[in-house]
Structure 1
Amino acid sequence: MIRVLFVCLGNICRSPMAEAVFRHMVAESGLADQIEVDSAGLGGWHTGDRPHRGTLGLLKANAIPHDYLRARQINTGDFTAFTYIVCMDNENLDGLKRLAPQAGNISMLLDYAREQEEREVEDPYYTGRFEHVYQLVELGCKGLLEKICRDHGIIRKKEQQM
């Protein structure tokens, strides 16, 4: 099983959005039996909370299931339990590297969106730009799914039917 963990600061805006979007893409590709998806925050102050209303509104507007989302804090076991740990910005990246300096499975979401000039997914909790963040998350998740399929020799079940 390939396991993907999305990480942001508090796990109420960007990482749960990425979790829901990516999980939806995985399901739509017929790969839910091969790829597991989760999210976490560097901080634990929102543990157990639902995502921010801005995130929930966009997920609902795009018909992406999200009722299961609850914030949690990353733990040291996540660095070995997950194949990919994908964060949103340089601050998140630095925080993850402080927690697990030897981890080789940490990347940033927009590393997978090469055509996108922005390299960090801004925090809409502070900017209010949830729609812009959603667009970046979609691009990054699309590229990540393509990379996972390529790296692991996975053929999307939807592609097999064509």
Structure 2
Amino acid sequence: MIKVLFVCLGNICRSPMAEAVFRSHVEKAGLSDRIVVDSAGTGDWHVGHPPHEGTRKILEQYGIDYTGMFARQVSKEDFYDFQYIIAMDDMNVTNLAPYFPADRKVEVKKMLEFVPKHAGGNVPDPYFTGNFEEVYEMVNEGCENLLNYIQDEQELG
């Protein structure tokens, strides 16, 4: 089983959006039995809360299910459970560093590494910007390209 974890600061805007969007792409590719998707935050402020209203609205607009999603905080165990950890920005990568075990091979990448026109950049936090549409477009393209990357790397066809 291939496991993918999306990470942002509070796990109510960007990472749950990416989780839901990526799950949708995985389902469309017929790989739900091979790929598990989750999300978490580096902070604990929103643990137990559903996705932000703006995230819920944009997902509903695009017909993407987010049922049963609640914020949680990243744990050290995530680095043993997941093969791919996808962070939304540089700060998330920095905040993940203390969790990273030397004895586990896990890929930690930024979402925009999978969006050529924004390569190396950060997904802006719509909690502060309010621009959920812009984030959705970045996340959707990133998720599509991430799935292609995983399919190629794992030889899923």
Question: What TM-score, normalized to structure 2?
Answer: 0.94
Partner of 2:62: 62
Residue 15 of structure 1 and its aligned partner are, at CA, apart by 0.1
CA contact (8 A) 2:89 2:123 kept: yes
Identical positions, percent: 46
Structure 2 Cα separation of the partners of residues 118 and 94 of structure 1: 15
Please list every run of 5 or more consecutive structure 1 residues that lacks an aligned counterpart in the other structure: 156-162
CA contact (8 A) 2:8 2:42 kept: yes
Tell me the amino acid that sits aligned with residue 113 of structure 2: D
* Residues 5 and 117 of structure 1: CA distance in aligned 2, closer, same or farther (over 3 Å): closer
Partner of 2:128: 126
Partner of 1:13: 13
CA contact (8 A) 2:110 2:122 kept: yes
Residue 44 of structure 1 and its aligned partner are, at CA, apart by 1.2
Please list every run of 5 or more consecutive structure 2 residues that lacks an aligned counterpart in the other structure: none
CA contact (8 A) 2:9 2:92 kept: yes
Question: What TM-score, normalized to structure 1?
Answer: 0.92
Q: Which runs of 4+ in 1 moved over 4 A?
A: none
Aligned residues: 155
RMSD of the TM alignment (CA)? 1.3
Q: Does 1:44 align with 2:75?
A: no
CA deviations on 1:73-121 (whole Å, 9 max, x unpaired) are 0100000100100000000011011322646421101111223356110
Residue 67 of structure 1 and its aligned partner are, at CA, apart by 1.3
CA deviations on 1:10-32 (whole Å, 9 max, x unpaired) are 00000000000000000011000
Residue 61 of structure 1 and its aligned partner are, at CA, apart by 0.5
* Residues 37 and 73 of structure 1: CA distance in aligned 2, closer, same or farther (over 3 Å): same
Tell me the amino acid that sits aligned with residue 145 of structure 1: L
* Residues 136 and 118 of structure 1: CA distance in aligned 2, closer, same or farther (over 3 Å): farther
Structure 1 Cα separation of the partners of residues 98 and 128 of structure 2: 24
